[in-house]
Amino acid sequence: MKCPACGNLESKVVDSRPTADGAAIRRRRECLKCQRRFTTYEIVEDIPMIVVKKDNSREAYDRNKLLSSIIHACDKRKVSRDKMEEIVSDIERSIQNSMQNEIPTSYIGEMVMRKLKEIDEVAYIRFASVYRQFKDIGAFADELNRMLAEKK
């Protein structure tokens, strides 16, 4: 780390602690040449996620858009807002851990359906009907029959 006083590139860390919100590490350093102390902050660099839509267009990932679709699917269901936020956070963590900078909407949609299926089957069906674009009652019935077969 370059010393702001003399420009020397060598320093030692004398104190290190997380910031109040835990989003960064505050480090007190001492220049090995002039002994001046200075503070640096270390943060995790977020790599922006790009979503690849069905038509191959790309747009920036929007947490609120994903949360909104889950809220809509869970409307008037006994699913807490905290649980919905947890689903979104789990999906984001999974995406970030995949180390891909472009994520297909199909990958995100399948993860949402898997999570909703575990917590509320009605919310799952609501989400699936929009996500899979059910064209008629037959497609809806097929999905219900698939779910019933899995339960047995």
What pTM was computed for the model?
0.64
User: Alpha helices of the chain — where are they, by DSSP H?
Assistant: 63-73, 81-97, 105-119, 121-131, 137-151
Amino acid at the residue 110: E
Q: Tens-digit pLDDT profile for the chain (152 aa)?
A: 899 999 999 999 999 999 887 778 999 999 999 999 999 999 877 778 899 998 999 999 999 999 999 999 999 999 999 999 999 989 988 988 888 889 999 999 999 999 998 999 889 888 888 877 777 777 777 877 887 788 77
Per-residue pLDDT at 14: 96
Which residue ranges make up each domain of the chain? 11-43, 50-151
Burial call 35-47: b when 16+ CB within 10 Å, e when fewer = eeeeebeeeeeee
